[in-house]
């Protein structure tokens, strides 16, 4: 069972219990729910988006190198350096909240043993399946990102020996073309 919307809950800041009152007129159909906080969902979506941006910028840099136009080393290295400096937030480590609830009216009950009196604050939860979709996408982007980042680091630090500029360029250029093929159609 996958929830198709985000449900409001009250979360205990002490024990982490989540609950939300609800009652269907014709009786609730309670189902087991695996939930994550929407904050974690936002964090993984933000990471996926940042990875997409960095991959796009890295690919542009690789494209510039693969191009046959005369190469301006200084500009190319600066471009590679700027690309590798684009920040990407780490993946969150969400707690999966196991509970029961009624997807129709939004009733949620995910109790926890609490030592004191529960202190609740409002929050939102989403189905863990939605989180996993973003996480898988972020994972795919991260793999492409790793390959492109490694190459961009090489480009950013390259110092062709005098007289060997052309050879260095040719070898980087052929690697750039390989990478463009490998990473075509991603994003
Ligand atoms: Zn209900
Ligand atoms: Zn509590």
How high is the pLDDT of residue 117? 84
Distance in angstroms (rounded) separating the CA atoms of residues 35 and 44: 15
Rounded to 5°, the CA angle 103-109-110 comes to 120
Alpha carbon 148 to its chain's center: 17
> Is 94:37 a contact under the CB 8 Å cutoff?
yes
Centroid of ligand 2 to alpha carbon of 110 (angstroms): 11
Centroid of ligand 2 to alpha carbon of 18 (angstroms): 9
pLDDT band of 4, cuts 50, 70, 90: confident
Distance in angstroms (rounded) separating the CA atoms of residues 181 and 169: 18
pTM (2 d.p.)? 0.88
Compute CA distances 112 → 12, 13, 93, 105, 117, whole Å.
Answer: 9, 11, 19, 22, 12
Centroid of ligand 2 to alpha carbon of 124 (angstroms): 17
Centroid of ligand 2 to alpha carbon of 33 (angstroms): 19
Distance in angstroms (rounded) separating the CA atoms of residues 146 and 58: 11
| Each residue's pLDDT tens digit, 114-153 | 877 889 999 999 999 999 999 999 999 999 999 999 999 9
| Each residue's pLDDT tens digit, 170-179 | 999 999 999 9
Ligand closest to CA 121: 2
Nearest to 45 by CA among 126, 122, 143, 144: 126
Domain ranges of the chain: 7-182
Centroid of ligand 2 to alpha carbon of 15 (angstroms): 4
Centroid of ligand 1 to alpha carbon of 133 (angstroms): 26
Q: 146 is written with which tokens? A: 């790793």
Nearest to 49 by CA among 125, 145, 123, 180: 145
């Amino acid at each position: 069972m996958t929830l198709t919307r985000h449900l409001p809950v009250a979360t205990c800041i002490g024990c982490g219990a989540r609950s939300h009152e609800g009652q269907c007129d014709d009786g609730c159909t309670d189902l087991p729910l695996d939930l994550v906080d929407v904050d974690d969902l936002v964090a993984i979506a933000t990471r996926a988006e940042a990875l997409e941006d960095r991959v796009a910028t890295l690919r542009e840099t690789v494209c510039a190198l693969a191009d046959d136009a005369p190469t301006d080393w200084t500009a190319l290295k600066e471009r590679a350096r700027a690309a590798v400096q684009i920040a990407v937030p780490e993946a969150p480590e969400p707690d999966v909240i196991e509970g029961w609830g009624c997807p129709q009216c939004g009733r949620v009950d995910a109790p926890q043993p609490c030592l004191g009196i529960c202190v609740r604050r409002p929050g939102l939860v989403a189905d863990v399946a939605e989180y996993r979709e973003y996480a898988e996408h972020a994972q795919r982007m991260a793999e492409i990102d790793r390959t492109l980042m490694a190459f961009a680091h090489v480009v950013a630090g390259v110092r062709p020996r005098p007289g060997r500029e052309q050879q260095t360029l040719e070898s980087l250029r052929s690697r750039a073309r390989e990478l463009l093929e490998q990473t075509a159609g991603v994003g």
